[in-house]
A and B are shown apart, each in its own frame.
Chain A
Amino acid sequence: MELYRLNISEARELLDKRKITAKELLNSIYQRIESVDSKVKAFVTLSKDKAYEMADASQKQINEGRSLTIQGIPVAIKDNMCTKGIRTTCSSKILENFIPPYESAVTSRLNENGYVLIGKTNLDEFAMGSSTENSGFFTTRNPWDIERIPGGSSGGSAAAVAADECIAALGSDTGGSIRQPAALCGVVGLKPTYGRVSRYGLVAFASSLDQIGPITKNVKDSAILLNIISGKDPFDSTSAPVAVPDFTKILGDEVKGLKIGIPKEYFIKGMDREIEESVKTAIKKLESLGAIPVEISLPHTEYAVATYYVLATSEASSNLARYDGVKYGFRAEGKDLMEIYMNTRAQGFGAEVKRRIMLGTYALSSGYYDAYYKKAQQARTLIKADFEKAFNSVDMIVTPTSPTAAFKSGEKTEDPLQMYLSDIFTISVNLAGIPAISIPCGFTSNNLPIGLQIIGKHFDEESILKAAYAYEQSTDWHKRKPNLWNTKR
């Protein structure tokens, strides 16, 4: 049996029925990584010693009949979440050898529920990018076509899930970094409501937008992981004291009568025809299940990308100030303090990170603050209000996740603006702080996955999970697997 193919529920059952052991499952995962990761390059660090320790401990629990939700389940973690004693790099040279002395809130919670940490996945440096090409180490490849990018910034996690190099993974999403790679890799990615999941231990890119979420092989697994990582954390003031339901309970409920908003601004002239067709077919499918499509308008959509790139870079310019070579991480020498700062940051950060630090620093300069940062905050309020208004008449909103399927490596690296537009359908959601899920909804003629985005109301992950699950159960897209043996390299 190819154990690495299992999803969480399947693995849970086999483990609890003692048909397999946690170690066998882990062995299978590491063998899979051994055989395909030279092509996919999803992992920055493999934590084998730790993983086998965790698997052993899990097996004990299982043997005692006390297995927890994800007891013994091998999970990959995006390398911007701190793992105590395990290198956490953010795919940046500046943190290449950083070993956190503390555990992030999400990995603590996974730990409390018995997970096995198999390794840390690649990302665009500090989660800044849409392709993993901005990783300070290497580019991850799309398992469906290794000449193409897996999306980003959680490209490593999405590719690892798609290539069955883990059972499930966590990603983080600031402007689409979970959903866009999930779409491009043909897996499920959920960005929860801002405040649903603690950010403690998530290396900050843009604090008011960052949110951690699951990347999984199916909708149910996302619900299972969301159950574990959600909830108020005393160490994150921005985590919300909102009750956490059991997100798996609603799965299977019917979608009959649900009003799904179709924003006209997301279906524009000149958009990729195959994407448009797949998404429209998906909407028809939902309609056939009883949902009622309603055309809506989100009139400030066109300002989302600009707004995002002012706010996200402003926050980033400040969040990344701590990497100065003084306390930890990479330090370049210099003849005085200023030179140490400049050399450290010039050599430690990659081009995109530097570009964004400069953009953000500029936007926050006195004299420009009102024109950029403040204006962007005002635009953000309008974008939020668009959604609030829309949700008065619909239960959820359905859009494409990404304007294109996976593009070729190098195709957009020379044109940052073109790259920024990869997130055009996902960014508004972060600005509004609402939840959204991306699920597979078809393939291009090149056999590249296409993602469907379902956007929900504040703290209403249940509705989008319900709809996503209903759609998934009536389609086969999520069952398709990339064939990594047919690839050229």
Chain B
Amino acid sequence: MEYEAVIGLEVHAQMLTDSKIFCGCSTRFGSEPNTQTCPVCIGMPGVLPVLNKKTLEFTIKTGLATNCKISSYSRFARKNYFYPDLPKGYQISQYELPICEHGYVEIVVDAEIRRIGITRIHMEEDAGKNIHEGAGNYSFVDLNRAGVPLMEIVSEPDIRTPKEAAEYMKKLRAILRCLGVCDGNMEQGSLRCDANVSIRPVGQKEYGTRAEVKNINSFKFVEKALEYEIKRQIKVIEEGGKIIQETRLWDSNKGITESMRGKEEAHDYHYFPEPDLVPITVEQKWIDEIKASLPELPDAKRKRFVSEYGLPEYDADLLTSEKTLAQWFEEAVKSGGQPKAVANWMMGELAKLLNEENKSIEECQLKPKQLADMLKLIDNGTISGKIAKTVFEEMYKTGKDAENIVKEKGLIQISDEGTIEKAVDEVISKNPKEVGRFKAGDEKLLGFFVGQIMKLTKGKANPQIVNELLKKKLA
């Protein structure tokens, strides 16, 4: 039987505010334990939370950017449970009345646009961290993170494949980064993802029993963890078993998900409205102001890249996944680069070189104009496409302009027929055996001759002319 997966993601995004959600403590990452705390975020008796307005603004921004309805009236709720890293014994979150609801984002998978629904986005506070290393028979608790503002973004069960899940995560990340509300760093935990996964026979309408997969802490693992979990569920079903509704932890070392059963019973969080905070009322005027201040979002940009620059969906999607990438592209085009050529070079050579050094485009010393200028040298025949790769790499490494590199290294393309003819003749006379075989019909050898000529001209010969002359001489 053929199965399809039904996936919904719960994403926690740490907001990029300077201070915590309910007190004035810093949110800086990596400080000495318990140095960024106060009576409020460590839950001392009698203290009260006060909402950091910035977190509300950030969440509304995100809601607007994901096509959500912003509630004019929403409120906080307490999620009650005991754990040492949760100083008050409850987490202030939202439950019945979240601030954002009913939105969606669009993703591009296999050159097709898919719409993934957003059920809700709400604000909540992060917990602290338990530390077991170096504590002997005890455990330490670091409450620096307690009260750091989070957005929980819950998707509809609209995702069908691990690839879509990964694309959805990338799109969310792109939106959050574009808005400047979250740095989107999964490895450092500022973007976290839990997945609800179930499978059903293709064509069936009802959902299967779902398992929740937690601890997916890298983009790389979003796909891997889901692929594993889907395979596992199919196997269970095909072996006549049943899927149990449970929480499973992704173990990236073993590459499997494991049941948390026993560790975490079915929780009753005793949710109730937070009486220490007044309900949040948001005026339409403020929502409109925020809306007007939104930057161009990845989706709008993607569509514009397609219509304005004639890029394929795939290229447009990739180039708009990061604000900085899109900026770089547009600057290169503005400097005279042909859009598709710029896109090709960015997604090809540039991406390769950046990857090798694990660098982002901001850290790259190569300027967009330099790429545009180099493309001009190709267009006007000064250098060949092949040589351009060498030039590009040199530009990337040294930051020098293409023209200088071409001059210094003498990489100007040889288009003078006489010069090329000499080289052709030399190669033909040096390789009589191959000439014989070619004439006998082994046409694959043409490449061999081209290679020899390029070697002789240090790659500078105009490939078109080389081809023409060779064919003429060997005919």
Contacts and interface: CB of A to CB of B under 8 A. Distances in A.
Interface of A: 80-82, 88, 90, 95, 98, 100-102, 104, 199-204, 206-208, 234-238, 314-315, 317-318, 320-324, 326-328, 337, 341, 361, 364-366, 369, 373
Contacts of B47: 102, 200-201
B48 A365 contact: no
A327 B39 contact: no
A318 B270 contact: yes
A199 B48 contact: yes
Interface in B44-96: 44-51, 78, 80, 82, 84, 87-90
B275 interface: yes
B276 interface: yes
30 contacts: A80-B46, A82-B44, A100-B44, A100-B45, A102-B39, A200-B47, A200-B48, A202-B46, A207-B276, A208-B275, A235-B48, A236-B50, A237-B50, A237-B276, A237-B277, A238-B277, A315-B272, A315-B275, A317-B270, A318-B90, A318-B270, A321-B80, A322-B88, A324-B89, A327-B87, A327-B141, A337-B84, A364-B272, A366-B270, A369-B270
Contacts of B271: 364, 369
B42 interface: yes
A401 B51 CA distance: 37
Interface of B: 39, 42-51, 78, 80, 82, 84, 87-90, 141, 268, 270-272, 275-278
B270 A341 contact: no
B97 to A, nearest CB: 14
A455 B20 CA distance: 40
Given A81-B46, A238-B48, A324-B89, 18 more contacts: A88-B46, A101-B39, A201-B46, A206-B275, A235-B50, A237-B48, A314-B272, A315-B275, A317-B80, A321-B80, A322-B43, A322-B45, A322-B88, A323-B45, A326-B84, A326-B87, A327-B87, A366-B268
Contacts of A201: 46-47
A328 B44 contact: yes
Contacts of A341: 82
B45 A98 contact: yes
Contacts of B278: 237-238
Given A208-B275, A237-B278, A364-B270, A318 B78 contact: yes
B46 A322 contact: no
Nearest to A377: B273
B244 to A, nearest CB: 20
A365 B45 contact: no
B50 A82 contact: no
Contact of A207 (B51, B84, B275): B275
A403 B261 CA distance: 54
B269 to A, nearest CB: 8
A165 to B, nearest CB: 24
A100 B46 CA distance: 10
Contacts of B272: 314-315, 318, 364, 369, 373
A369 B269 CA distance: 11
B50 A322 contact: no
Nearest to A234: B50
A315 to B, nearest CB: 6
B141 A82 contact: no
A200 B46 CA distance: 6
A323 to B, nearest CB: 8
B127 to A, nearest CB: 12
A81 B47 CA distance: 10
Contacts of B89: 318, 320-322, 324
Counting chain A CB atoms within 10 Å of each CB, which of B47, B51, B88, B89 scores highest?
A: B47
Counting chain A CB atoms within 10 Å of each CB, which of B46, B48, B49 scores highest?
A: B46
A364 to B, nearest CB: 4
A365 B268 contact: yes
Contacts of B39: 100-102
Nearest to A329: B45
Contacts of A80: 46
A327 B42 contact: yes
A237 B279 CA distance: 10
Contact of B45 (A203, A236, A315, A318): A203
Contact of B270 (A88, A237, A361): A361
Contacts of A322: 43, 45, 87-89
A237 B84 contact: no
Counting chain A CB atoms within 10 Å of each CB, which of B49, B84, B89 scores highest?
A: B89
Contacts of A88: 45-46
Counting chain B CB atoms within 10 Å of each CB, which of A323, A364, A369 scores highest?
A: A364
B45 A82 contact: yes
A321 B42 CA distance: 13
A171 to B, nearest CB: 15
A82 to B, nearest CB: 5
Contacts of A321: 80, 82, 88-90
B42 to A, nearest CB: 6
Nearest to B22: A237
Contacts of A90: 45
B130 to A, nearest CB: 10
A272 B441 CA distance: 123
A234 B80 CA distance: 26
Nearest to A195: B278
B418 to A, nearest CB: 86
A234 B51 CA distance: 10
B301 to A, nearest CB: 39
Contacts of B277: 237-238
Nearest to B84: A326
A206 B276 CA distance: 10
Q: Which 9 residue pairs of A and B lie closest in terms of their CB atoms, listed nearest first? A: A321-B89, A207-B275, A364-B270, A208-B275, A203-B45, A203-B46, A201-B46, A322-B43, A326-B84
A405 B340 CA distance: 90
Contacts of A369: 270-272
Nearest to A326: B84
Contacts of A235: 48, 50
B268 A82 contact: no
A189 B220 CA distance: 65
A238 B276 contact: yes
A324 B141 CA distance: 13
Nearest to B51: A237
A366 B80 CA distance: 12
Contacts of B51: 237
A361 B268 CA distance: 10
